[in-house]
C-alpha cells in the first residue's frame, strides 16, 4: 500500500530536482487540488492509502509543475486579499505585492480622504483581483474595470459573479480608458473617478527572457512594458487629470526600481505626489498621488 505521504514526498523530490522554489508547498497544493482535501484533512490523512485512480492525473500535474507551469494555472485558483479567484493562462497570476495597493485604497476610504460612495477605475484589470477586492470591501463603491484582453475580461466577470459584486463592477474592453465618455453616467451621477488604480505591465522588454520559467508562461501582454517598462504608464499618466475628480487619488503598482521615475511623471502633470509604499522586501512598490 502506498500512502498519501509517500506520494507527497515523491512530488517534492520531483519539484526539488526541477529547481522549484517551494517544492513541498507546491506538491501539497496540487495534491489537495486533486483530492479535494482541506489542509487540515491533508495532514490528518497522510498515512491513509493513496487513491490509485488519481495516479495518472497526479503524474501529469506534477510534471507540468516541474516544467514551469504556475501552480495557479494548474489548479485554476489563486487567493488574493482573502478571496479565491479563478485564474487561467489568459491572465496574470495575482501577487501578494498587489494587496498593498488594495490596503492603501481601503485606508484612504477609512480616513475619509475618499468617499465611501466612490467611483473607482481599475485599469488593466486582468483577473479582476483589485476591482473585486475593492468591491467586496467597499459595499457602496461603484467600480469600472478595463482591459484590452477580452479573455481576461471574461475571467474577471466570472470572479465578480462568484463574489456577488457583479452589479457594482462594470467591465469594459478598452485600451486604458473606458470609451466613449457618454458611457460615463455612473451610479452616483458624476463623470470621473475618485480613485484610479492600476497594475500595468512594467517589465522592460529586454528582461522578459530573464524571468523565471513559470513567470514566462504568463501572458506577455500582461508583462511587457516596452523598452524601459514604462511605455503604458506614460500613456496612463498623460490622461489622468482628464479622468480624475478633484481630490481624486491615483495608486499605481510599479517595478522595484521604477517608483522614482513614475513619481516624477505624476508630478509633471500637476499631481501632488506622496512617498511610495514599500513591499515586504523593502522595495518601493506602489506610487501614490492626489489631484488637488
In this structure, are 10 and 111 located in the same domain?
Answer: no
125 contacts 153 by C-beta, under 8 angstroms: yes
In this structure, are 61 and 105 located in the same domain?
Answer: no
Number of domains into which the chain is organized? 2
What pLDDT sits at residue 111? Answer: 95
What pLDDT sits at residue 61? Answer: 98
What pLDDT sits at residue 191? Answer: 79
165 contacts 140 by C-beta, under 8 angstroms: no
Last residue of a domain, one of 19, 40, 67: 67
| SS3 state at 21 | coil
In this structure, are 129 and 182 located in the same domain?
Answer: yes
Please indicate, yes or no, if residue 79 is contained in any of the structural domains.
Answer: no
Length of the chain: 292
In this structure, are 173 and 271 located in the same domain?
Answer: yes
| SS3 state at 204 | coil
Q: What is the pLDDT of residues 25-47, one digit of tens each?
A: 999 999 999 999 999 999 999 99
Q: Pairing between strand 193-198 and 119-123?
A: parallel
Kindly write down the DSSP assignment for every residue of 151-196, as one continuous string: HHHHHHHHHHHHTT-GGGEEEEE-SSS-S-GGG---TTS-SSEEEE
Report how far residue 222's alpha carbon sits from residue 124's, in angstroms, rounded to the nearest whole number: 8
Q: Residue 29: give the domain boundaries.
A: 4-67
In this structure, are 251 and 118 located in the same domain?
Answer: yes
Spell out the alpha helix ranges (H) of 76-171: 98-110, 129-137, 150-162
In this structure, are 36 and 172 located in the same domain?
Answer: no
Residue with cell 478633484: 246
CA dist 255 → 143, 203, 234, 259, 273 (Å): 25, 7, 14, 7, 17
In this structure, are 56 and 26 located in the same domain?
Answer: yes
What pLDDT sits at residue 197? Answer: 98
Q: What is the pLDDT of residues 188-202, one digit of tens each?
A: 556 789 999 999 999
* Sign of the C-alpha dihedral computed for residues 212, 209, 201 and 175 taken in this order: negative
Please indicate, yes or no, if residue 73 is contained in any of the structural domains.
Answer: no
Last residue of a domain, one of 67, 98, 116: 67
What pLDDT sits at residue 1? Answer: 87
In this structure, are 106 and 243 located in the same domain?
Answer: yes
Which segments of the chain have a pLDDT < 50? Answer: 182, 184-185
Please indicate, yes or no, if residue 77 is contained in any of the structural domains.
Answer: no
Cis peptide before 180 (omega within 30 of 0): yes
Please indicate, yes or no, if residue 78 is contained in any of the structural domains.
Answer: no
In this structure, are 138 and 266 located in the same domain?
Answer: yes
In this structure, are 20 and 165 located in the same domain?
Answer: no
What pLDDT sits at residue 186? Answer: 52
Please indicate, yes or no, if residue 74 is contained in any of the structural domains.
Answer: no
Residue with cell 482535501: 37
What pLDDT sits at residue 181? Answer: 53
Which residues 6+ apart lie within 8 Å of 67 measured at CB? 18, 213
Please indicate, yes or no, if residue 215 is contained in any of the structural domains.
Answer: yes
In angstroms and rounded to an integer, the radius of gyration of the C-alpha atoms of the chain is 21
Please indicate, yes or no, if residue 47 is contained in any of the structural domains.
Answer: yes
Q: What is the pTM of this model?
A: 0.93
In this structure, are 152 and 30 located in the same domain?
Answer: no
Report how far residue 2's alpha carbon sits from residue 212's, in angstroms, rounded to the nearest whole number: 34
166 contacts 142 by C-beta, under 8 angstroms: no
Last residue of a domain, one of 67, 92, 119: 67
> CATH number for the domain including 110?
3.40.50.150
In this structure, are 122 and 242 located in the same domain?
Answer: yes
Please indicate, yes or no, if residue 199 is contained in any of the structural domains.
Answer: yes
Cell numbers for 238: 498623460
Amino acid at each position: 500500500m502506498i500512502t498519501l505521504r509517500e506520494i507527497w514526498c515523491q512530488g517534492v523530490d520531483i519539484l526539488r530536482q526541477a529547481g522549484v522554489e517551494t517544492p513541498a508547498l507546491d506538491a501539497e497544493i496540487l495534491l489537495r487540488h486533486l483530492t479535494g482535501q482541506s489542509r487540515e484533512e491533508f495532514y490528518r490523512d497522510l498515512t491513509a492509502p493513496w487513491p490509485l485512480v488519481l495516479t495518472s492525473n497526479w503524474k501529469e500535474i506534477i510534471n507540468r509543475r516541474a516544467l514551469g507551469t504556475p501552480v495557479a494555472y494548474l489548479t485554476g485558483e489563486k487567493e488574493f486579499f482573502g478571496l479565491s479567484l479563478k485564474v487561467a493562462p489568459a491572465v496574470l497570476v495575482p501577487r501578494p505585492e498587489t494587496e498593498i495597493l488594495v490596503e492603501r485604497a481601503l485606508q484612504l476610504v477609512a480616513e475619509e480622504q475618499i468617499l465611501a460612495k466612490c467611483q473607482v477605475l481599475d485599469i488593466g484589470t486582468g483577473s479582476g483581483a483589485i476591482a473585486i477586492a475593492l468591491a467586496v470591501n467597499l459595499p457602496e463603491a461603484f467600480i469600472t474595470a478595463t482591459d484590452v484582453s477580452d479573455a481576461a475580461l471574461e475571467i474577471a466577470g466570472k470572479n465578480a459573479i462568484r463574489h456577488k459584486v457583479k452589479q457594482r463592477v462594470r467591465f469594459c474592453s478598452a485600451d486604458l480608458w473606458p470609451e466613449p465618455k457618454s458611457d460615463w453616467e455612473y451610479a452616483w451621477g458624476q463623470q470621473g473617478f475618485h480613485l484610479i488604480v492600476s497594475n500595468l505591465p512594467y517589465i522592460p522588454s529586454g528582461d522578459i527572457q530573464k524571468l523565471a520559467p513559470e513567470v514566462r508562461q504568463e501572458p506577455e501582454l500582461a508583462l511587457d512594458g516596452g523598452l524601459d517598462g514604462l511605455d503604458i504608464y506614460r500613456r496612463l499618466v498623460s490622461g489622468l487629470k482628464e479622468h480624475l475628480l478633484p481630490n481624486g487619488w491615483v495608486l499605481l503598482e510599479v517595478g522595484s526600481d521604477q517608483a522614482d521615475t513614475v513619481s516624477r511623471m505624476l508630478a509633471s502633470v500637476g499631481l501632488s505626489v506622496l512617498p511610495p509604499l514599500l513591499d515586504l522586501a523593502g522595495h518601493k512598490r506602489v506610487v501614490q498621488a492626489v489631484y488637488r
